[in-house]
Structure 1
Amino acid sequence: MDLARVTRARAVAAALAMAVFSPALSSSRAHAAELAYDPPIGSRWIVETEIRSEETRPEGSTTSLVRTRAELTVEAKTADGFRISWVQRGSMVEGNARSVALRRAYANVPENIVIRASTDASGKPLRIDNLDEARAAMRRSADTLAAQFAERPAARALFDQLMSELTEADAENAASVYIDAMVSLAAAQNAGMKPGEFRWTSKPAQNPLGGDALMANERFELTDVDSAGRLTFVSATSVDPVAMSDFMQSFAKSLLAASGDSVTPARVDLLVKSMLFSFDKRAEFQVEDGMTRKVAEKSTTVFRSMEQNLTQSEARTIAVSRAP
């Protein structure tokens, strides 16, 4: 089936669903409970991120914990958004996963490097204004940290591959790479929604098993507004069934080829029927005075096929507080 046609059909269906089931917004938008994202110029904020991961295989389980602390400063307001600066001031990585050493190095690279960015009106970063300067600083930091892998060529190769995401970030992707927490926080800012209203969107999502991105469906809803005007949004994400079917077919073919088995339609269908793959993610956003103060997100991946048996879970929290 033509992928472009399928994508267009899903987009039309989502638009129709919103038109039929969403409350009218024309007259109510002015009465929405939500305040606009409008942090004071010169204000400073502490953004603390924690990621807890666990992976379970037949041979055992591994865990990792990553914590980072960054300082966000609102430098100026522009015609269509804000100019901000972002500096990571600390990080900690621990656990028994084999990747801990690499993740610790990755977390340390941005330490004390000033990232200057322009955002839209919701606070979503659009571009890194000092990209050349930031990339050069990342390279210097990465070169210093690479010394710890000098006697481990395989680890050094993996380190260089991992660091390339930071040191070679292009203009299109740099904002989401360098200050990805800002992207997450902005999702619930300036949403323009009423209590009980929800939206459906389809967008590419990272494949938890590696490889090409998978199309995912997200339901985003304003679930609560308390007496103090604090808003709670909830998003639920799952892989699109068509994308899931295509991925399972492709993955089954690769497994059969790798095992030396014949890759016939009958063998592929039989293997697909024996496979289990699920991916679900849920996130809750707490918004106060127009700014997201906390994001709590949890995702779970389960995969069963042939001798492969994998369960991955990740819990991420982002907390925002006014700097003293």
Structure 2
Amino acid sequence: MGVGAGRALASVVAAMAMFDIAPAFAAEPVYDPQVGSRWMVETEARSEEVRPDGTATSVIKTRGELTIEQKTADGFRISYVQRDATVEGNARSVPLSRAYMKVLENVVIRASTNPSGKPLRIDNLDEAKAAMRGAASGLVEQFDRRPASRALFDQLMSQLVEVDAGGAASVYIDALAVLAVAQNTGMKPGEFRQVTKPAENPLGGDALKSTERFELVDADAARLKFVNVTSVDAASMDEFMQSFARGLLAASGDSVTPDRVRQLVGSMLFSFDKRAEFEVEGGMTLKVAETSRTVFRGMEQNLLPTDMRTITVTPVP
């Protein structure tokens, strides 16, 4: 290197130090797991609901094995097996959740994904449904003396066995769809994407309109961190609260006037927020941590449900 070139390089280095200029971000690593590789996918879903009569909790942990079977022109073919699951807590839903998770245990799911690893369809749908029906037949006895629980169990089973191959992909292996959100995004540090979409209403009723902001907040060599924040649209929330208040007044026999609706809405508080963090290494999402909180106060009720979910991915030796 000549003297002139050396001085030029020294000047650039000095300028970078002075203005704290970071090296350019090369490119996001591509999701490209090796064919034949196996990955342990562990999930933990914690739910806590604070009510006037106490706190209801549930913890659901699952451990599944993902195998990359084949790389195709438009994605991958994979297999997934839930090896075991545990359900603990004092919530009324615990026995039902325990039976539901048992239905999915050791059922081999074969699926096709897009290049980002998002499941598109279940390839062995009839075989998977038959295995689930067989498992369910041995579990229904426990609900014989609880018709309401039996009805709920039957409803959950219908969601498993009355879906097509595309719909089943989001039901059977939804954790893989969550992981795929942060794979092959094509984003650069500081870049964000914002979309408006329906959000499930924690209080029931019509869906709320929400805004999701997905951002690449940190990039270090092959490691990336994404954050996805969901917030409810203010106009959508106001519309729901107005409708909710009118329904309550009508049900109680009170007069449904604009003043009474306004007064009731003013006495209530309802909020919902959700945040998810994605840690990606070498193009693959290795951890997702998601928290959603709902606050409802009004009509002598104080409901504070919090849901937390983590998904971790580790290679199987």
Question: Is the CA contact 2:222–2:283 (under 8 Å) kept in the aligned structure 1?
Answer: no
- Equivalent residue number for residue 250 of structure 1: 243
Aligned mate of 2:147, from 146, 153, 158: 153
Which whole-Å CA distance do the structure 1 matches of 2:301 and 2:161 have between them?
34
RMSD: 1.5
Cα distance in 1 between the residues matched to 2:216 and 2:293: 23
Partner of residue 173, structure 2: 179
Does the CA-based 8 Å contact 2:49-2:57 persist in structure 1?
Answer: yes
Deviations 1:88-122 (A, max 9, x none): 00000000111110111111111111111111111
Q: CA deviation at 1:213?
A: 2.4
Question: What is the distance in 2 between the residues matched to 1:193 and 1:58?
Answer: 45
**SS of equivalent residue, structure 1 residue 173:** helix
- Work out the CA distance in 2 between the residues paired with 1:213 and 1:108: 30
Alignment match, 1:168: 162
Match of residue 93 from structure 1: 87
Identity among equivalent pairs (%): 70
1:190 CA displacement: 0.3
Q: Could you give the per-residue CA deviations for residues 104-144 of structure 1, whole angstroms, max 9, x where no partner exists?
A: 11111111111111111111111111222222222221221
Q: Is the 8 A contact 1:32 1:194 kept in 2?
A: no
Q: What residue in structure 2 maps to residue 59 of structure 1? A: 53
Does residue 276 of structure 1 match 2:263?
no
Provide the C-alpha distance between the structure 2 equivalents of 1:140 and 1:243, rounded to a whole number of angstroms.
43
What is the total number of aligned residue pairs between the two structures? 294
Confirm whether residue 195 of structure 1 aligns to residue 189 of structure 2: yes
1:120 aligns with 2:114: yes
| Unmatched runs of 5 consecutive residues or more in structure 2 | 1-23
Q: Secondary structure at the match of 1:82?
A: strand
**In structure 1, what is the equivalent of residue 282 of structure 2?**
289
Contact map agreement 2:49 2:304 (CA 8 A) in 1: yes
Deviation for aligned residue 1:293? 0.2
Alignment-derived partner of residue 99 in structure 2 = 105
The Cα offsets for residues 46-103 of structure 1, whole Å up to 9 and x where unpaired, read as: 1000011100011111111000011111111111111111110000000011111011
Q: Which amino acid aligns with 2:272?
A: F
Q: Could you tell me which residue of structure 2 aligns to residue 319 of structure 1?
A: 312
Cα distance in 2, alignment partners of residues 77 and 166 from structure 1: 27
- Given that residues 122 and 168 in structure 2 are in contact (C-alpha distance below 8 angstroms), is that contact kept between their aligned partners in structure 1? yes
Question: Separation in 1 of the partners of 2:250 and 2:301?
Answer: 15
Are 1:302 and 2:295 counterparts?
Answer: yes
Matches of 1:133 and 1:242 in 2, distance apart?
46
The alignment's TM-score, normalised by the length of structure 2, stands at 0.89
Match of 2:232 among 239, 262, 268: 239
Partner Cα distance (1:37, 1:288) in 2: 9
Secondary structure of the structure 1 residue equivalent to 2:40: strand
Tell me by how many angstroms 1:259 deviates.
Answer: 2.1
Give the partner amino acid of 1:161.
Answer: Q
Q: Supply the AA of the counterpart residue of 1:315.
A: M
The structure number with the bigger radius of gyration is: 2
For structure 1, the residue ranges without an aligned partner over 5 or more in a row are 1-29
Code of the residue aligned with 1:214 in structure 2: it is L
How far, CA to CA, are the matches of 1:140 and 1:257 in structure 2? 46
Q: CA deviation at 1:32?
A: 4.3
Supply the distance in 2 between the matched residues of 1:202 and 1:172 (Cα, whole angstroms).
23
CA offset digits 1:255-297 (Å, max 9, x no partner): 2222222223332222122221111011110001100000011
After superposition, give the CA deviation of every residue in 1:180-226 in whole Å (9 maximum; x if it has no partner): 10111000000111111111111222222223322211111111112
Residue identity in the other structure for 1:294: K
Matched residue of 1:118: which SS?
strand
One-letter code aligned to 1:62:
A
CA distance in 1, matches of 2:178, 2:280: 12
**Quick check: 270-279 or 44-53, which moved more?**
270-279
* Structure 1 runs (4+) greater than 4 angstroms displaced: none
Report the TM-score when normalising by structure 1. Answer: 0.87
Q: Specify which of 256, 271, 274 is matched with residue 263 of structure 1.
A: 256
1:27-50, CA deviations, whole angstroms, 9 ceiling, x for partnerless residues? xxx964310110111111110000
- Letter of the 2:202 partner, please give it: P
